[in-house]
Amino acid sequence: MSQVTDTITEPELDAGVEVSAAVIGRSPWELFWRRFRKDKVALLGVAFIAILVLLAITAPLIARFVVHHGPNQLNQDLTNEIGLPAVGPSGNYWFGVDTLGRDMFVRTIYGARTSLTVAFFATGLAVGIGIILGTLAGFFGGWVDTGVSRAIDIVLSLPILLLAIGIAAACSITAAGCLGGLIQPGISLVVAIIALFSWPYIGRIVRGQVLSIREKEFVEASRSLGFTNAGIMFREILPNLAAPVIVYTTLIIPNNILFEAALSFLGVGIPQTTPSWGRMIADAAAGQLYTAAWWMLLFPGVALVFTTLAFNLVGDGLRDALDPRMGG
C-alpha cells in the first residue's frame, strides 16, 4: 500500500477490433524485470559475473581436480636458469606460469575470489554505513544532517590513493601495526580503507532520497496513525530506498575492485600470499617481465577489465530498468 504503482496498458488495437482485454496492472518488480530483460548488454554482464562468481567459488575444486595445481604451488622446473618463466600458455598450463612456476590460470581465478570478496565486503560495509548515516541525516535533519553532510564532504575531498598508501605504509613499519595492533596490513585493512572512502557516495544518495520520501503523503499518514520514528524509517522509508541503493551499489563495486587492484599494484594492498589481480599485474610489470612473458600481464589485466566492465554494464542496465527517469 505504501508503494507507488505504475500501470501499463496494452498497445492500441485497430479501431475496428473490439477492445476486450482489461488493463493489466504490473508490480514495479515485474516492470523492472521486463525492461532489464531487453537490455542485452546488461544481460551479458550478468552472465559474465555469474560465470566469474562460479569460477571463484569453485576455484579450490578446479585447482585440485581439473588442473591439479594450487595457486601458491611453486615449481622451479618451469623457470629457466635466471628465473624467467619457461612455459607460456600450453596444454598443462592454460595461462602459462609466472617467475616462480605458479599456474597463472589458477592464480587468475583465485584473484577473482580476492577481487570479489574485497569488493563485496567493502561495498557491503560502505553501503551499510551509508544507509544508516544517510537515513538518519535525511530523516532527522538539523544537527544530525549537518554532521553527516560535513563528514561526507570531508571524505569526498580527501586524496584517496595517497591517504590509503600512507595509512597502509605507516601501519607496516612496526611489528604491531597501528592502534595497538588493530590495524595491520592485510585484507581487513584494505576492506576498511575502501569502505571508508566509498560510504559517502551511498550516504549522499540515501540522504537525498530520504529527504524527498519524508515529505510524501504516506509517511504523513503513517505518522498520524501513531508510528514511531523508527517504525516509519523501517516500514516506509527503507523499502523505498531499495531501488537507488541497488543501482548505486552495483556501480560502486567496479570502483572498489579497481581500488583494491590499485592498492595491491602499489604493494600496500593484499599481502602477496593471496593472489590479487593488481599484484599480479605489478609483478608482471616489474623488471619489464612482460617483455619475456606476456601472459603474466595479459590474463590478470583482461580479467580486471572485463570484470569492471561487466559490473558497470549491469549497473547501467539496473539504473535504466528500475527508473528510466533516473538515468542520465
Partner 1 sequence: METLKRSSRVLAVVAVLAIVAAACGGGEEQAPPTGEPSARGGTYRTAIEDFGFTNGFDPTGEYLGTAWGLYSDLLTRTLVTYNHMAGVPGDEIFPDIAESWETSADGLTWTFHLKSGVQFGPPLDRDVTSADVAYAFQRINTKSLIAQYGNYYAGVIEGLTGDAKSQDTPISGISTPDDSTIVFTLSKPTGDFLYRLAMPATAPVPEEVGKCFTKAGDYGRFVISSGPYMIKGQDALDTSSCNAMEPISGFDPDKFMVFVRNPNYDPATDSPEVRSANLDGVVITIDTNTDDIFNKIQSGELDGSWASLPPKPLEQQYLTNPDLTDNFHINSGDRTWYITMNLLVPPFDDVNVRKAVNFVIDKSALQKAWGGPAHGEIATMVEPPEVLPETAEMDPYPSPNHEGDVQAAQDAMSQSTYDSNGDGECDADVCNNVLLVSRNIPPWTDMNPILSENLAEIGINVRIRELETSTAYTTIQTADNLIPIAANAGWGKDYADPYGFDFFIFNSAGIACSGQVNYSGVGMTKDQAAECGPKVLAAWNAATDNGKTPLPSVDEKMDECYGLLDEARTTCWVELDTYLMEEAVPWVPYIWATVFTVTADSVTHWEFDQFSGALSWAHIAVDNGIDPNSVPVG
List contacts with partner 1 (CB under 8 A). Answer: 72, 74, 76, 79, 81-84, 99-100, 102, 172-175, 185-186, 267, 271-273, 283, 286-289, 291-292
| Pick 197 or 277: Cβ nearer partner 1 | 277
Taking residue 5's Cβ as centre, other Cβ atoms within 10 Å add up to 10
| Pick 2 or 184: Cβ nearer partner 1 | 184
In the complex, least distance from residue 106 CB atom to partner 1, rounded to whole angstroms: 14
Query: What distance in Å separates the CA atoms of residue 167 and residue 183, rounded to the nearest whole number?
Result: 9
Of 308, 206, 294, 219, nearest in space to 257 by CA: 308
In the complex, least distance from residue 162 CB atom to partner 1, rounded to whole angstroms: 16
| Pick 117 or 172: Cβ nearer partner 1 | 172
In the complex, least distance from residue 289 CB atom to partner 1, rounded to whole angstroms: 7
Query: What distance in Å separates the CA atoms of residue 128 and residue 196, rounded to the nearest whole number?
Result: 11
| Pick 104 or 289: Cβ nearer partner 1 | 289
| Pick 79 or 114: Cβ nearer partner 1 | 79
Query: What distance in Å separates the CA atoms of residue 154 and residue 148, rounded to the nearest whole number?
Result: 10
In the complex, least distance from residue 82 CB atom to partner 1, rounded to whole angstroms: 4
Kind plus residue range of the DSSP H or E element containing 25: strand 25-26
Burial 61-84 (b: 16+ CB within 10 A, else e): ebbeeebebebbeeeeebbeeeee
Question: 42 is written with which cell numbers?
Answer: 546488461
Q: Assign 3-state DSSP to the chain and report helix, strand, coil percentages, each to 5.
A: 70, 5, 30
In the complex, least distance from residue 99 CB atom to partner 1, rounded to whole angstroms: 6
In the complex, least distance from residue 285 CB atom to partner 1, rounded to whole angstroms: 8
Question: 210 is written with which cell numbers?
Answer: 530520504
